[in-house]
């Protein structure tokens, strides 16, 4: 009788995994946001629903300050966890955003998906300038789907064609765009939206977070070795549904075996019939990104929330600032001395 397959429950992280991907246009984009923020009335922050914690960029907290904000978890179609897991995780995710005006889980590639967001903006986004136009800035990590969301909102809101360029690789938007109209409100005022370049963080101390961001496409595919990325994907697939790759290979923890079989069966062979393992690894990752190999959370949201809280409390920054008893005492002391 065949022995039962046991998936790995820990992924071996190599020290050689790069931890940074902070490019010139990320830095410039962040600077531009800082300059622009005073003339912006509202912020939409996009995060990838598969990595709801890992795709938070704490640097936005510093830049965006207290601007009224709604959070959009993008690429909802790429999750097909069972309803119970999804509901529980959505509740956990919402806890992250207690200060947000609203939270949405959206598939921007579906038509009409922007409707609830537009309804929210219609009633909630106020213009602070004399012209009565409201400016909304969209921010997020690279490739989370900001420009796609903008196009959907524009199409739904003012029935106009695509205005922002989109693409499967990060870094398609490199400069802050010009304002794009997405809504005419009954009171005669309009809502305009600004696209911004995706911004990464300067250094990711946790190598596993880097792998998650890379797997979701926030990092260029040349940064992490394709076989490492495919191995990390295999680790997650095995914990969720190993039968998604049964047409190529039996359940395995050996990425080289899977890639070898995949390369042979999909014709990825070089001279002398040698399988092109790197290309096989990239193709496998792309299949997952296209939703063909199951959709699941990469973040263990409960564990990530705890890790995030611990890190940010230690640094005294970000989402959890002011929330610990020690911080509350410090804030009370600060308030007394000012
Ligand atoms: N399946 C799926 N794909 C999406 C969705 N939203 C965006 N995408 C895809 O994700 C990729 C990145 O989308 P963009 O809108 O270009 O992302 P961006 O955040 O503007 O990227 P940068 O230019 O790096 O800032 C594209 O291939 C989109 O088609 C979604 O809801 N579902």
Average pLDDT rounded to a whole number, residues 106-129: 89
Domain locations in the chain as residue ranges: 24-194, 225-289, 311-337
315-329 exposure pattern, b = at least 16 Cβ within 10 A, e = fewer: eeebbbeeeeeeeee
Residue whose CA is at the smallest distance from ligand 1 atom 13: 145
> Was 57 annotated as part of a binding site?
no
| pLDDT for res 41 | 93
Best of 46, 75, 143 for a ligand 1 pocket test (most atoms within 8 Å of beta carbon): 143
Calculate the average pLDDT of the chain.
88
Q: Is 107 in the pocket of ligand 1 (CB under 6 A)?
A: yes
pLDDT band at 317 (very low <50, low <70, confident <90, very high): low
Question: Is 201 a residue whose pLDDT tops 50?
Answer: yes
Distance 1 CA to ligand 1 centre (A): 46
Question: Is 329 a residue whose pLDDT tops 60?
Answer: no
Does residue 209 contact residue 218 with C-beta atoms inside 8 Å?
no
Average pLDDT rounded to a whole number, residues 76-97: 82
Question: Is 189 a residue whose pLDDT tops 90?
Answer: no
Q: How many other C-beta atoms can be found within 10 angstroms of the C-beta atom of residue 164?
A: 18
Question: Is 174 a residue whose pLDDT tops 60?
Answer: yes
| pLDDT for res 193 | 95
**For ligand 1, what atom is nearest to the CA of residue 195?**
20
Distance 75 CA to ligand 1 centre (A): 8
- pLDDT tens digit string along 244-257? 999 999 999 999 99
Q: Is 140 in the pocket of ligand 1 (CB under 6 A)?
A: yes
Average pLDDT rounded to a whole number, residues 1-29: 90
CA distance 105 to 76: 6
* Percent of the chain with pLDDT strictly greater than 70: 92
Q: Is 153 in the pocket of ligand 1 (CB under 6 A)?
A: no
Question: Is 150 a residue whose pLDDT tops 90?
Answer: yes
Distance 166 CA to ligand 1 centre (A): 6
> Which two structure tokens, joined as six digits, stand for 125?
């986004």
| pLDDT for res 257 | 98
> Was 146 annotated as part of a binding site?
yes
- pLDDT tens digit string along 244-303? 999 999 999 999 999 999 999 999 999 999 999 999 999 999 999 999 999 999 999 888
Distance 167 CA to ligand 1 centre (A): 6
According to DSSP, residue 72 is labeled E
Question: Is 76 a residue whose pLDDT tops 50?
Answer: yes
322 or 136: which leads in pLDDT = 136
> Was 145 annotated as part of a binding site?
yes
**Strands of the 69-74 sheet, one edge to the other:** 102-105, 69-74, 42-48, 134-140, 190-194, 180-184
Q: Is 108 in the pocket of ligand 1 (CB under 6 A)?
A: yes
> Was 244 annotated as part of a binding site?
no
Q: Where are the alpha helices (DSSP H) in 195-276?
A: 207-215, 226-240, 255-265
Q: Is 4 exposed, middle or buried (0-12, 13-18, 19+ CB in 10 A)?
A: exposed
For residue 240, which of 53, 79, 88 has the smallest C-alpha distance? Answer: 79
CA distance 28 to 87: 38
pTM: predicted TM-score of the whole model, two decimal places: 0.89
| pLDDT for res 1 | 58
Question: Is 16 a residue whose pLDDT tops 50?
Answer: yes
> Was 147 annotated as part of a binding site?
yes
CATH fold of the domain at 24-194: Rossmann fold (3.40.50)
Average pLDDT rounded to a whole number, residues 37-65: 92
Average pLDDT rounded to a whole number, residues 104-125: 92
């Amino acid at each position: 009788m065949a022995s039962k397959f046991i998936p790995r429950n820990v992924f071996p992280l190599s020290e050689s995994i790069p931890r940074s991907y902070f490019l010139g246009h990320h830095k410039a984009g962040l600077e531009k946001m800082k300059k622009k923020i005073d003339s912006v009335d509202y912020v939409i922050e996009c995060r990838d629903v598969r990595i709801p914690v890992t795709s938070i960029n704490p640097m936005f907290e510093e830049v965006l300050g207290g601007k009224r904000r709604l959070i959009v978890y993008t690429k909802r179609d790429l999750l097909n966890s069972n309803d119970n897991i999804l509901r529980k995780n959505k509740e956990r995710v919402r806890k992250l955003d207690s200060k947000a005006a609203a939270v949405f889980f959206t598939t921007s590639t579906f038509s009409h998906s922007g409707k609830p967001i537009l309804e929210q903006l219609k009633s909630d986004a106020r213009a602070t300038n004399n012209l009565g136009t409201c400016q909304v800035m969209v921010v997020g990590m690279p490739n989370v789907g900001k420009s796609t969301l903008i196009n959907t909102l524009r199409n739904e809101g003012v029935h106009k064609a695509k205005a922002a360029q989109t693409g499967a690789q990060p870094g398609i938007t490199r400069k802050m765009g010009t304002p794009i109209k997405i809504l005419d409100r009954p009171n005669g005022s309009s809502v305009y939206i600004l696209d911004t370049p995706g911004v990464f963080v300067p250094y990711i101390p946790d190598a596993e977070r880097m792998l998650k961001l890379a797997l979701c496409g926030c990092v260029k595919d040349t940064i992490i070795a394709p076989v490492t990325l495919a191995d990390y994907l295999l680790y997650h697939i095995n914990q969720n549904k190993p039968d998604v790759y049964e047409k190529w290979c039996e359940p395995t923890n050996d990425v080289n075996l899977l890639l070898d079989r995949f390369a042979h069966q999909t014709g990825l062979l070089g001279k002398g019939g040698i399988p092109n393992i790197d290309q096989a690894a990239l193709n496998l990752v792309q299949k997952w990104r296209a939703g063909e190999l199951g959709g699941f959370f990469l973040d263990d949201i409960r564990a990530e929330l705890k890790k995030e809280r611990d890190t940010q409390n230690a640094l005294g920054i970000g989402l959890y600032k002011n929330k610990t008893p020690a911080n509350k005492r410090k804030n009370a002391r600060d308030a007394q001395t000012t």
